[in-house]
Amino acid sequence: MNKYAENVIGMLRKKYPWEKEYIQSVTEVFKSITPVLDSNMEYQKNRILEQLVEPDRSISFRVPWKDDQGMIQINTGHRVEFNNVLGPYKGGLRFHASVTLSIIKCLGFEQIFKNALTGLLIGGGKGGSDFNPRGKSDNEIMNFCQSFMLELSKHIGASTDVPAGDIGVGTREIGYLFGMYRRITKSFEGVLTGKGLAWGGSCLRPEATGYGVVYFAEEMLKNINDSIKGKLVSISGFGNVAWGVVKKINELGGKVITLSGPDGFIHDPDGIVGDKVDYMLAMRLSGNDRVKDYADKYNAAFYPNQRPWVVPCDIAIPCATQNELDLSDAKILVKNDAKYIVEGANLPVTMTGMEFLEKAPVLYAPAKACNAGGVACSCFEMAQNANFMNWTEEEVDTKLHQVMKYIHDQCYDTAVEFNKKGNYVFGANVAGFRRVADAVLDQGMA
Ligand code: NDP
Ligand code: 2IT
């Protein structure tokens, strides 16, 4: 690694020794950008890395709410506004018991470069809470969202910071959050994305992340004269991203044969097609964190407490959460002749898994490049809201396709420029970093 980058990581380790996830994501990006830092001293002279690793501001707050028994519950909320050199802070809200400030900073850091890769005008941010939506009633979810927004509303706005969904936050939660923002501020504006279609949402936003992942994969395969048609695809998760991936893979003639949840995975050799795809949505909305229900209903095999990567496939697409595919999973996939690993979730592959995949005979696409379709569509939603207009499904889909091809080509071309053809991790990190870092230089923050 470049010496300057090493020093900045050392400084982070000293200052925030408990932020392991955050430091991991910074290290991963800094490893890649070594040749750029080596060849351009302007970045070091202007202390660009120090400027990027310290968020513009990070807000943590208490979220009190009442459960259905009338008991007061307390959770912690966060919003990290990382960097707005390319546009309003933009990134999702995650509600999950595992949320900590370190995880939000790690996701927010990734988001800066992901958003930069889209070529659109969006900066980087992320937020969330350790609130666990599993098993909560609709009323409890609403109470929590309203209390969360009571504080968050002081910090966000259509041209300052625009949150969206992530794990545990879908259209229902965005609805409660948006309703409370509107009541507090009297303002009906594009302050959140992922809204319902009837009240300012964009068509295809629910599908956009998953569709984008598959559009990216399609470009990657096309580039070596291959296609999705006839491919066996293993995925993890059964949430929003997984659902979009399944729909688009089916449309392009591939076959998805696995899904997973915290309870284990299912293997359905007939493919997740027809009403099985709708059933994914029903399972998600049921509030049960079980994928076994699918196996019971459709007579598929269920493997408790295991991950789906043992099933032979051509394409593996992790779509659940961070660090869900480790070195041993990566080795099994390669041994079983998987040719493409495409990240639907954010940071799903562990550091050692990544290092192995970068050298393995596979094409490996990192999340910040291939799951950027969600945030890109969020930006389309902001544009529609700013103009009080709605675009058609065809318009949104065409633009989404263009953005994903643009991201693919940037990653590919940047890797070629540095003699690392086919290394999408390198291409994504360098292309994203250069756009942000050069904007910081142009805007004279140093
Ligand atoms: P959902 O909440 O719709 O689904 C998440 C899925 O992952 C659920 O099946 C969930 O089960 C499972 N999951 C969550 N945490 C864990 C865990 N610790 N162990 C095992 N399983 C887990 O979220 P999304 O589909 O929106 O998000 C999935 C991934 O995609 C995340 O990494 C997210 O950051 C990323 N992403 C999402 C975008 C979006 O637009 N929604 C955009 C870009 C990336 P359970 O809840 O029961 O734990
Ligand atoms: O990780 C992500 O890119 C998201 N959760 C979507 C962010 C957004 O603002 O749409």
**For every one of its 446 residues, what pLDDT tens digit does the chain have, with 9 covering 90 and above?**
899 999 999 999 999 999 999 999 999 999 999 999 999 999 999 999 999 999 999 999 999 999 999 999 999 999 999 999 999 999 999 999 999 999 999 999 999 999 999 999 999 999 999 999 988 999 999 999 999 999 999 999 999 999 999 999 999 999 999 999 999 999 999 999 999 999 999 999 999 999 999 999 999 999 999 999 999 999 999 999 999 999 999 999 999 999 999 999 999 999 999 999 999 988 887 777 789 999 999 999 999 999 999 999 999 999 998 899 999 999 999 999 999 999 999 999 998 999 999 899 999 999 999 999 999 999 999 999 999 999 999 999 999 999 999 999 999 999 999 999 999 999 999 999 999 999 999 998 64
Residue 273 exposure: Cα atoms within 13 Å on the Cβ side: 12
The reported pLDDT for the residue numbered 90 is 98
The reported pLDDT for the residue numbered 86 is 97
The reported pLDDT for the residue numbered 404 is 98
CA–CA distance, 174 with 258 (Å, rounded to integer): 29
Ligand 2 pocket check for 346: Cβ under 6 Å: yes
Nearest ligand to the CA of 136 is 1
Tell me the three state secondary structure of residue 99: coil
Nearest ligand to the CA of 210 is 1
Class of residue 277 by CB neighbours under 10 A (exposed 0-12, middle 13-18, buried 19+): middle
Cβ-contact 308, 267 below 8 angstroms: yes
The reported pLDDT for the residue numbered 422 is 93
Please tell me the residue having the least CA distance from ligand 1 atom 23: 167
Ligand 2 pocket check for 374: Cβ under 6 Å: yes
Buried-state track 183-195, b at ≥16 Cβ within 10 A, e below 16 = eeeeeebbbbbbb
Q: What is the pLDDT of residues 362-420, one digit of tens each?
A: 999 999 999 999 999 999 999 999 999 999 999 999 999 999 999 999 999 999 999 99
CA–CA distance, 410 with 395 (Å, rounded to integer): 23
CA–CA distance, 133 with 93 (Å, rounded to integer): 13
Please tell me the residue having the least CA distance from ligand 2 atom 10: 375
Tell me the three state secondary structure of residue 69: coil
Ligand 2 pocket check for 58: Cβ under 6 Å: no
209 Cα to the center of ligand 2, angstroms: 8
166 Cα to the center of ligand 2, angstroms: 6
The reported pLDDT for the residue numbered 399 is 98
Please choose from 166, 167, 288 the residue to mutate so as to test ligand 1's pocket, defined by most ligand atoms within 8 A of CB: 167
Helices (H), 54-93: none
Query: Boundaries of CATH 3.40.50.10860 in the chain?
Result: 51-188
CA–CA distance, 414 with 422 (Å, rounded to integer): 10
296 Cα to the center of ligand 2, angstroms: 32
Structure token digits, residue 133:
């939506």
Q: What is the CATH number of domain 205-365?
A: 3.40.50.720
Ligand 2 pocket check for 283: Cβ under 6 Å: no
Phi, psi of 353 (to 5 degrees): -60, -45
Nearest ligand to the CA of 239 is 1
Ligand 2 pocket check for 378: Cβ under 6 Å: yes
CA–CA distance, 116 with 122 (Å, rounded to integer): 7
The reported pLDDT for the residue numbered 162 is 98
The reply to whether CATH 3.40.50.11540 applies to domain 51-188 is no
Residues with CB under 6 A from ligand 1: 96, 98, 134, 165-168, 209, 237-241, 261-262, 284, 289, 319-321, 344-346, 371, 374
118 Cα to the center of ligand 1, angstroms: 22
pTM: 0.95
38 Cα to the center of ligand 2, angstroms: 32
Structure token digits, residue 375:
């945030």
Structure token digits, residue 149:
């927004």
The reported pLDDT for the residue numbered 445 is 66
The reported pLDDT for the residue numbered 287 is 73
Please tell me the residue having the least CA distance from ligand 1 atom 4: 239
Nearest ligand to the CA of 344 is 1
Please tell me the residue having the least CA distance from ligand 1 atom 29: 345
Q: What is the pLDDT of residues 323-368, one digit of tens each?
A: 999 999 999 999 999 999 999 999 999 989 999 998 999 999 999 9
**Which run of H or E residues covers position 439?**
helix 424-442
Query: Boundaries of CATH 3.40.50.720 in the chain?
Result: 205-365
21 Cα to the center of ligand 2, angstroms: 18
- Which residues belong to the active site? 126
CA–CA distance, 221 with 218 (Å, rounded to integer): 5
Please choose from 166, 240, 343, 371 the residue to mutate so as to test ligand 2's pocket, defined by most ligand atoms within 8 A of CB: 166
The reported pLDDT for the residue numbered 261 is 94
Please give the share of the chain, as a percent, with pLDDT higher than 90: 96
Ligand 2 pocket check for 92: Cβ under 6 Å: yes
Nearest-atom number in ligand 1 for the CA of 290 is 47
Rounded to 5°, angle at Cα 91 from 168 and 85:
170
Please tell me the residue having the least CA distance from ligand 1 atom 39: 166
User: How does the average pLDDT of the chain come out, rounded?
Assistant: 96
The reported pLDDT for the residue numbered 286 is 79
Please tell me the residue having the least CA distance from ligand 1 atom 21: 262
42 Cα to the center of ligand 2, angstroms: 31
Please tell me the residue having the least CA distance from ligand 1 atom 15: 321
